[in-house]
Structure 1
Amino acid sequence: MITTRGRQLIIDGEPRVIFAGEVHYFRLARDEWRDRLVALRDTGAQAVATYIPWVVHELPDGRIDVTGETADWRDLGAFCDLAAELGLLVIARPGPFCMAELKNEGIPHRVYGLPGVVAPGWRGAPPPTRDLDYLAPAFLAEARRWYDAVLPVLAERHHDQGGPVIAIQLDNEIGMLAWVSNSPALTEAVAADWRAWLAVQDRLGRHPGLTGSEPAAVLRYLADPPADAALAVADDLMRFCRDRFRRYTDTLAGWVAGHGLATLPLLINIHGTGGGRGLTYPIGISQLLGTWRNRPGTVAGSDMYLGDLTVGNVADFVLGNVFAAATAGPNQPLTALEFEAGDGDYGQDLGALVPPEATALKTRLAHALGNRLINFYLFAGGTNPPLDTDPDLPGGDGIDRIAFTGEEHGFAAPLGPTGRPSRTLPALTEVITDLNRIEQRAAGMVPHADLAYGFVADHYLTEYRVPDDPATRDLQDELARFRGFGPRQILARALVLGGYGLAGVDLSPHDDLDRTDPRPIDQAELPERLTPAGHPVLALVSGRSLAAVTQRLLADYVAAGGRLLLAGALPVLDELGRDCRLLADALTITVGEPLPDQVVDRRGRTRSNHPTVRLDPATTGLTRPEVAVGFAQPLRHSEATVLVRTTGGDAVGLEVRHGAGTAILLTTDYPCDLAVYAALLDRLGVRPRYRTDASDPGLVVAAMISPDGGDELVQLINVAPYPIETSVWRAAELMTPRPITVGARSAVLLQ
């Protein structure tokens, strides 16, 4: 039996950490399956994962072949049986969407011709991607037919019946295509549904220009709103889409249950990284958090492509996991459903090469952050077979194969298209082997946390904007500058590279999701809410806009004894850009306008303005030169302790008491001086449990601890390009009798 409990993955009564590799049976000749699966098993992996593409198994006449009747490589059951024979478990990913460079993202061509499936976007514009309306009845009817064909094969091999199948992923990267193209599905049916949702949520008052309830009239308003309603329309549309995505995955989950697979974990793949960074990854979390909220047994999984792991993006990796965990219930462990494992040359153009140790470092970090299933994607490349000739597609589309990468696929994989191992394979084998040795201890542990880190999910409601609307653009652009990681991502890096363990907490309310949830709300299965008892110290980044309900939550948290480090800006607006200073007023702080980057001198000439700030040595105990900053928001409070001032004397760093608690407000992008941020947190009474004395930056302390505190595992992960010598303390106890050296781009496990 397979269950999820206490952030653990339990298989046959034992907590497990499962390593898997993605092998696409449909891109291999049947006589190649064994070779690739043996190679996967030899790394130490315990499972194989694979997409099961609809477009591959459906024939031109509409029949669906999953038994190998028309081509032996289509025999899905035989592939699963071979995996079981070799001792591998199976993670099934049957779509309907698969992506994986497949034609139409894995959807058969004919589906796009069905009525209502392809939905226009803003102002009736056709979608620029192969997206479709997930809840279009014609699409759901065909998707049901696909699931009814493939699920029986998996049900026959259910782990509880002695088979290898341990989990099923529902669709893939839901909502991603609409986000990246800013093309939400907008039809009369969607518009009518949206208006009904507004009524249930008591939000019709936000839309005085929405008169009448005729679907055509609602669609005109929704798809091309007046300028004064564009912000509210986009905000309510994105919240509504969270509900739609949940209804879609609930529908798929119902089909899975109908085939006797209800007891298997259901997986949701989160999308969102780009350009080697994870700054937009939380948009995917925000879009999809409703699909696992209040659904024990449904588990979110990351899909991160960061390339190399460096001081520049290691905080992206950590916070991506921390933010996902913040939206999970107490019995929903983290997973990594597409864990980048290749050398980065995805386009076969040598535009990038990722060093082999990057995969090992990211694996160690993901393991320590609580991921209990890690699927290395793509483990083995292969060949894209030709599509069967379709008489309805004369001339084809320039390539007659199932995908658009040419004949071969998976150029960057540890095993290339022909099975040739890359330089990544030995590093992958080594790290899996090392972590398997500590599986029995690690599987029951949780990540150690020194303080909480706030995730404002609603700050990432930015996937859609009404085209050419300046108000939405300006608000979303400012959010992108500050949210999550801080301006220039400084706070995130300072904490991660400063050795702090972080526990995420979602500060956005999700009453709208709970209000329309068809399932009874089980409070015990919802994510933990912010309280001083559960989160004595909270670090948070905000821009100038923050919803009133979240500002009130923070004010109440500090008043009740919480200790808050707020970096970025003290909010003065709500989520729609309206004046809202609830937090500032509660703290009795007067907020000035941010210092401009241009000023007009006495002669009327425009000049650049470069703000500089300096720590107050008397209050911080640190002496530092003045430093240039890109943002400075002056604050005034008659009794606060001033920690940082601009050269002109404005306070941009304050410590203020409120009720039983304390808030430190740093409203400037002070450089990433690790000692400065450590001093700020020390004022709030928090120091890392695991402390180093390294003189150079680059070490990440990744620690796990047993729930009873009786066992712990500490990994020192060096993402710097040079070796680092350090001693390590656990609280006041020296863990390393002599200083140790962590080699460049390597890790050391302390037990």
Structure 2
Amino acid sequence: MIEIKQKQIIIDGKPELLMIGEIHYFRIPRDQWENRLEQLKESGCNAVSSYIPWVVHEEFYEDIDLDGRQFPEHDLAAFIDLAKEHNLYFFVRPGPFIMAEMKNDGIPYWLYEKYPEVTPITWNGNQATTVTVDYLAPNFLKEVKRWYEAVFKVVVPRLHDHGGNVIAIQLDNEIGMLSWVSNNPDLTDQMLEQFKRYLNQSYDKQTLLKRYPFIDDAFDQFKQEIRAPKNVNPLDLHKDLGYYMRQRFSEYVRVLRAFAESCGVSGVPFMVNIHGTGGGRALTYPIGISQLYESYTQDTGYISGSDHYFGNLDMTTFQDLYLINGMMDAVHSEDQPLTSAEFNCGDGNFGETLTGRYDPSAADLKTRMSIAQGNRLLNYYLMAGGYNRQLQRPTADGNNRIATTGERHGFAAPISPEGEKNYTFDRMATSIKRMLAVKDKLAVMNEEHDDLHFAFIPDYYMTEYHYPDSESERAFIGNLTSNRAHASWELLARSMLLAGYRFTGIDIQNKPLDVKNVGVLVVPSAKYMSRDIQEKLVDFTAEGGRVLLYGELPQYDMEGNSCTQLIQALGVTYEKDYEANQQFYLSVRRVDDVKQKELRTYFAQGFTLNGQTPLIKIIGTEHYAGFKTKIKKGAITVLTTPYKTDLDFYRSMLADLGVKPGLTHDYDNHGLFTTSVRNRDERFIHLLNLEGYAKTCHVLEREKMLFDGELLNLAGYEGVMLPVEINIDETTCLHYSTCEIISYDSQHVTFDTKSKNIKLKITTTNKVSTSTEMEKQQTDNVYIFTLKNNHHAEILTVYFE
């Protein structure tokens, strides 16, 4: 039995940590399957995953080959069973869309030929420019149901509850992504009929006629007005279309789940994966969260899986990963854990040009941060490369292969198409094994947070569609885009993390704000914000809440109507926006520190203060872009200019609001990320060196040194997970270690001792010995072992007899 509860994945009553490697059986010669699974196990993974490509298994209508009669690599059952023989769980990804560089993104050619109406009509009556479909088109769903029936005839007998190894099923892949990246919303006749019904159910008649004066016209007129809006406020349509599409995606997921369950699927979670990273960053990733959060929170039995494509984790990107994990957590239900459906690994050489290659630390550091934030499942994508066979039917597309990447596929993977391991494999494998060495601990641990929450507003990321001819909509999206990420991530979030703050996200749009449960609330804010959220923030602060608002104070609601509830409650007077250009060198200065010099900036929203405490003044004016004040019982600090990563400044603002970082270090040149996870008294302290040179530091908690004040050493781009109060068994407790655990049981603990200074503190009633001679202090049953930097052994084992 597999359960999803308390943010854990529980298999047969035992919380599990699933480290999965994606291997595409259909791209690897069958006689090499076993070799790839053996290499997967060598990486440390305890599970395997694969897409099941419809375009490959049913090239010709009603001729589905899932048993290998056409190609031996088509034998899905044999591959799942072989994984079971190797004691590997299996994660099934049957589409219907799979992407994976497959042609048609995994949809058979015949489907578009047989049912041309499934291809969406979009803005201005044009046909969609990508190979997406109308997800709820009856003929599409009819064929998907038939495809699912064929796939699950193979999969159902191999489900975990039936004695098999299948432990999760993904429904479709990156739903809504293709229409987002092409700005091609599905505006087919069927969809617009449903949209019209949705509008009639959402508004009273008077409001509806005001928003859509043509709502009662003939349907052809309604279609034309939506596809090329002229007599409607574009921001009204933007909101309504976005809200409706969330519901529509949710309905699509519900239909797919019903298909699977009608085929006998039960006892496993259904995953909905979230797209959105690009160019090595995650600034647009929450667009996917916004599109799909209603899909995976609609009922029990769902988990959401991120698509993480970051490349290196370093000083540029680390806050991206931390924030999107927090934002996913913000919209989850109480029981849903963080998971990743596609966790990018390998060397980044996607074009076989030997450029853009990742540091070996890339997968390691991303793994460590994600596990520290509570991820219970990571699917390393792509673990092994392979080959794209030719299609059986000619396509005259240049190579006639099943995928767009040519004959070889996955050449950036840790395991090449030919089965050779590249330079990233060993470092990735080390981190996987380190996590699984203590999986019984990590599977139930949660990140410890300071009294701090980072606000997530889904509608700020509901920008996947906009009518291309609307200037007002472009301005609206441009303002949201410039405020929702960029400065708030690059300056504010990065500063908070480097200053030692640990936090998670909170959905302030859809969930209540309770002063008792929310400490300091950090809100990235734009010129637009709904009346409901503005009033919620005012009420929260008035009841004693503490807020740091960063970006712009809102002047409009999300439909472009004047809405200044927050400005009015603050009592300031808006004057004007200042923007730098080639002739105007916009500058600001802190007024609370006379030593601070002027700072160039590119934007500042200027206010006249009326008794509020000034923080940042706009040079050459009497206006301010930063201040603090009170609203009844609460306090709020406002910054309306992107201010540099001055850690002391951000730390002082947050301290003034009542929160200080609990876990810090004393390295004075930045570049270290710290956090911790806990279950009862057991903990791990995570440290990541985000730069390529070595660093030494002490770790402090509430200004008290941990590890008895021992100096910690981190090589460039190194991460460590240090144990604190870990129970080895009922007789032995590892109070701390300045090095990582490699393995443990009741008779021994083995540590990685490549670090310079090693110190362990253990309490045990057993007799203790060590594999390497160490300095030992003993007081009753307490042992402190010290090994200085003249040792040569890379591992140390402590034995208990």
Shared fold per TM-score greater than 0.5 = yes
* 1:58 and 1:65 in contact (8 A); partners too: yes
Tell me the equivalent position of 1:730: 701
Tell me the equivalent position of 2:445: 445
Distance 1:562 1:488 in 2: 23
Partner letter of residue 46 of structure 1?
A: N
Tell me the equivalent position of 1:409: 409
* 1:484 and 1:540 in contact (8 A); partners too: no
* 1:321 and 1:369 in contact (8 A); partners too: yes
Aligned residues: 716
The CA deviation at 1:496 is 2.1
Instruction: Give 3-state SS (helix, strand or coil) of 1:608's partner.
Output: coil
* 2:373 and 2:447 in contact (8 A); partners too: yes
Tell me the equivalent position of 1:612: 587
Distance change in 2, residues 1:488/1:626 (3 Å): farther
Tell me the equivalent position of 2:192: 191
* 1:485 and 1:541 in contact (8 A); partners too: no
The 5-angstrom pairing of residues 135-534 of structure 1 reads 135-202=136-203, 204-205=208-209, 207-212=211-216, 214-226=218-230, 228-389=232-393, 396-450=396-450, 451-484=452-485, 486-487=487-488, 489-509=490-510, 529-534=512-517
Instruction: Give 3-state SS (helix, strand or coil) of 1:70's partner.
Output: coil
Q: Which of these two proteins has the greater Rg computed from alpha carbons?
A: 2
The CA deviation at 1:575 is 0.9
* 1:702 and 1:717 in contact (8 A); partners too: no
The CA deviation at 1:649 is 3.8
The 5-angstrom pairing of residues 20-59 of structure 1 reads 20-59=20-59
Tell me the equivalent position of 2:75: 75
The CA deviation at 1:726 is 1.8
Tell me the equivalent position of 1:522: none
Residues 100-131 of structure 1, C-alpha deviation per residue, up to 9 Å, x if partnerless? 01010000001112042011110111111111
Instruction: Find 1:705's aligned residue among 678, 685, 692.
Output: 678
The structure 1 segments of at least 4 consecutive aligned residues displaced by more than 4 Å after TM superposition are: none
Tell me the equivalent position of 2:546: 563
Distance 1:669 1:38 in 2: 51
Instruction: Give 3-state SS (helix, strand or coil) of 1:538's partner.
Output: strand
The CA deviation at 1:260 is 2.3
Residues 269-299 of structure 1, C-alpha deviation per residue, up to 9 Å, x if partnerless? 1001111111000001101111012322211
Q: Which moved more, 1:586-595 or 1:239-248?
A: 586-595
RMSD: 1.5
Aligned-residue sequence identity (percent) comes to 38
Tell me the equivalent position of 1:602: none
Distance 2:486 2:296 in 1: 24
Tell me the equivalent position of 1:604: none
Q: Which moved more, 1:651-660 or 1:410-419?
A: 651-660
- Confirm whether residue 678 of structure 1 aligns to residue 651 of structure 2: yes
The CA deviation at 1:682 is 0.5
* 2:609 and 2:624 in contact (8 A); partners too: no
The CA deviation at 1:212 is 1.7
The CA deviation at 1:676 is 1.0
The CA deviation at 1:337 is 0.7
The CA deviation at 1:187 is 1.4
* 1:282 and 1:323 in contact (8 A); partners too: yes
Residues 639-698 of structure 1, C-alpha deviation per residue, up to 9 Å, x if partnerless? 322122222342221111112111000111110111111111010111111111221121
- Confirm whether residue 662 of structure 1 aligns to residue 663 of structure 2: no
Tell me the equivalent position of 1:520: none
- Confirm whether residue 640 of structure 1 aligns to residue 612 of structure 2: yes
The CA deviation at 1:61 is 4.5
* 1:265 and 1:297 in contact (8 A); partners too: yes
Larger strand fraction of residues = 2
Partner letter of residue 143 of structure 2?
A: E
Distance 1:9 1:692 in 2: 33
Tell me the equivalent position of 1:716: 687
Tell me the equivalent position of 1:513: none
* 1:294 and 1:329 in contact (8 A); partners too: no
Distance 2:687 2:355 in 1: 31
- Confirm whether residue 104 of structure 1 aligns to residue 77 of structure 2: no
Instruction: Give 3-state SS (helix, strand or coil) of 2:257's partner.
Output: helix
Distance 2:57 2:165 in 1: 21
Distance 2:219 2:426 in 1: 59
The CA deviation at 1:488 is 7.0
Instruction: Give 3-state SS (helix, strand or coil) of 2:605's partner.
Output: coil
The CA deviation at 1:748 is 2.2
Partner letter of residue 252 of structure 2?
A: Y
Q: Which moved more, 1:166-175 or 1:634-643?
A: 634-643
Residues 470-492 of structure 1, C-alpha deviation per residue, up to 9 Å, x if partnerless? 10001101111111453572112
* 1:96 and 1:171 in contact (8 A); partners too: yes
Partner letter of residue 270 of structure 1?
A: I
* 2:59 and 2:110 in contact (8 A); partners too: no
* 2:20 and 2:46 in contact (8 A); partners too: yes
Tell me the equivalent position of 1:747: 719
* 2:92 and 2:168 in contact (8 A); partners too: yes
Instruction: Find 1:592's aligned residue among 575, 587, 590.
Output: 575
Residues 484-525 of structure 1, C-alpha deviation per residue, up to 9 Å, x if partnerless? 45357211211222221111111223xxxxxxxxxxxxxxxx
Q: Which moved more, 1:462-471 or 1:636-645?
A: 636-645
Q: TM-score, normalised by structure 2?
A: 0.87
Instruction: Give 3-state SS (helix, strand or coil) of 2:453's partner.
Output: strand
* 2:59 and 2:108 in contact (8 A); partners too: no
Distance 1:533 1:294 in 2: 27
Structure 1 residue runs of 5 or longer lacking an equivalent are 510-527, 599-606
Residues 56-90 of structure 1, C-alpha deviation per residue, up to 9 Å, x if partnerless? 11042421111112222111111000000000000
Instruction: Give 3-state SS (helix, strand or coil) of 2:299's partner.
Output: coil
Instruction: Give 3-state SS (helix, strand or coil) of 2:478's partner.
Output: helix
The CA deviation at 1:627 is 0.8
* 2:122 and 2:185 in contact (8 A); partners too: yes
Partner letter of residue 601 of structure 2?
A: V
Distance 1:210 1:727 in 2: 68
Distance change in 2, residues 1:569/1:62 (3 Å): same
Distance 1:395 1:326 in 2: 45
The CA deviation at 1:255 is 1.1
Structure 2 residue runs of 5 or longer lacking an equivalent are 724-801
Q: TM-score, normalised by structure 1?
A: 0.93
Distance 1:118 1:453 in 2: 39
Residues 573-625 of structure 1, C-alpha deviation per residue, up to 9 Å, x if partnerless? 11122211111112222222112435xxxxxxxx722221122236xxx7322
The CA deviation at 1:206 is 5.2
- Confirm whether residue 651 of structure 1 aligns to residue 652 of structure 2: no
The CA deviation at 1:468 is 2.0
Q: Which moved more, 1:254-263 or 1:668-677?
A: 254-263
* 1:689 and 1:731 in contact (8 A); partners too: yes
Q: Which structure exhibits the higher relative contact order, with contacts defined as CA atoms closer than 8 Å and separated by 6 or more residues? A: 1
The CA deviation at 1:385 is 1.4
The CA deviation at 1:419 is 0.5
Distance 1:432 1:252 in 2: 32
Instruction: Give 3-state SS (helix, strand or coil) of 1:632's partner.
Output: strand
Distance 2:210 2:687 in 1: 51
* 2:663 and 2:675 in contact (8 A); partners too: no
Distance 1:295 1:449 in 2: 28
Distance 2:645 2:149 in 1: 54
Instruction: Give 3-state SS (helix, strand or coil) of 1:576's partner.
Output: coil
Partner letter of residue 616 of structure 1?
A: V
Distance 1:395 1:711 in 2: 59
Residues 330-359 of structure 1, C-alpha deviation per residue, up to 9 Å, x if partnerless? 111010110000100111122310111111
Distance 2:578 2:488 in 1: 15
* 1:192 and 1:218 in contact (8 A); partners too: no
